[in-house]
């Protein structure tokens, strides 16, 4: 009688192992974007126009150097080794992540500039032009 209980426990252990293997084989691999987080302070950065492309992200549109583009056209519109992403604090994070994912395969360095609101972004663009 003891042997029967022991054999049933071994069967239960193998069944549990099979269930764990089945669950692990059905999980999806999620690729993460490498994000380098550094401490920054307020200051002024001098950048020449040839080195940088400015992508402004608002609630309703994406602008590359002041010209509206769709998310799918974004990869072809970006040129230069560095891209500055200007984004309002109230823009949904998912929107920013989609833009970053679209630019991840372009081999460009991404920098994020957070503004207090989308209105501040448009006012700053009108004052300084489509570049910086």
Largest CA distance in the chain: 88
The pLDDT score that the predictor gives to residue 91 is 87
Note whether residue 43 is domain-resident. no
Note whether residue 23 is domain-resident. no
What is the span of the domain harbouring residue 69?
A: 49-128
The pLDDT score that the predictor gives to residue 31 is 67
For residue 69, the SS3 value is strand
Note whether residue 81 is domain-resident. yes
The pLDDT score that the predictor gives to residue 121 is 43
Please name which of 58, 126, 113, 112 lies closest in space to residue 90, comparing C-alpha atoms: 58
Note whether residue 94 is domain-resident. yes
Note whether residue 29 is domain-resident. no
The pLDDT score that the predictor gives to residue 19 is 92
Dihedral of alpha carbons 71, 78, 51, 131, sign = negative
Q: What is the pTM of this model?
A: 0.53
Cα angle 60-84-86, degrees, rounded to a multiple of 5: 35
Contact 132, 49 (CB under 8 A): yes
Contact 33, 100 (CB under 8 A): yes
- Write the CATH number for 68: 3.30.420.60
The pLDDT score that the predictor gives to residue 131 is 43
Note whether residue 68 is domain-resident. yes
For residue 91, the SS3 value is coil
Q: What is the pLDDT along the chain (132 residues), one digit of tens a residue?
A: 555 556 677 888 899 999 999 888 887 766 666 766 666 666 665 555 557 888 899 888 899 888 899 888 888 888 778 888 899 888 888 888 888 888 887 788 888 888 876 554 444 444 444 444
Number of structural domains the chain divides into:
1
Note whether residue 7 is domain-resident. no
Note whether residue 42 is domain-resident. no
The pLDDT score that the predictor gives to residue 18 is 93
C-alpha dist (Å) from residue 56 to 28, 65, 99, 123: 32, 8, 10, 12
């Amino acid at each position: 009688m003891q042997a029967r209980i022991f054999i049933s426990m071994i069967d239960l252990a193998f069944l549990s192992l099979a269930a764990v293997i089945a669950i692990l084989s059905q999980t999806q691999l999620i690729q993460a974007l490498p994000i380098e987080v550094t401490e920054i302070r307020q200051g002024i950065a001098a950048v020449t126009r040839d080195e940088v492309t400015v992508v402004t992200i608002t609630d309703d549109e994406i602008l590359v150097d002041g010209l509206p583009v769709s998310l799918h056209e974004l990869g072809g519109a970006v040129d230069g080794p560095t891209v500055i992403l200007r984004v309002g604090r109230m823009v949904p994070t998912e929107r920013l992540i989609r833009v970053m994912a679209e630019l991840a395969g372009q081999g460009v360095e991404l920098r994020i500039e957070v503004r207090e609101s989308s209105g501040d972004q448009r006012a700053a663009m009108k004052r300084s032009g489509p570049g910086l």
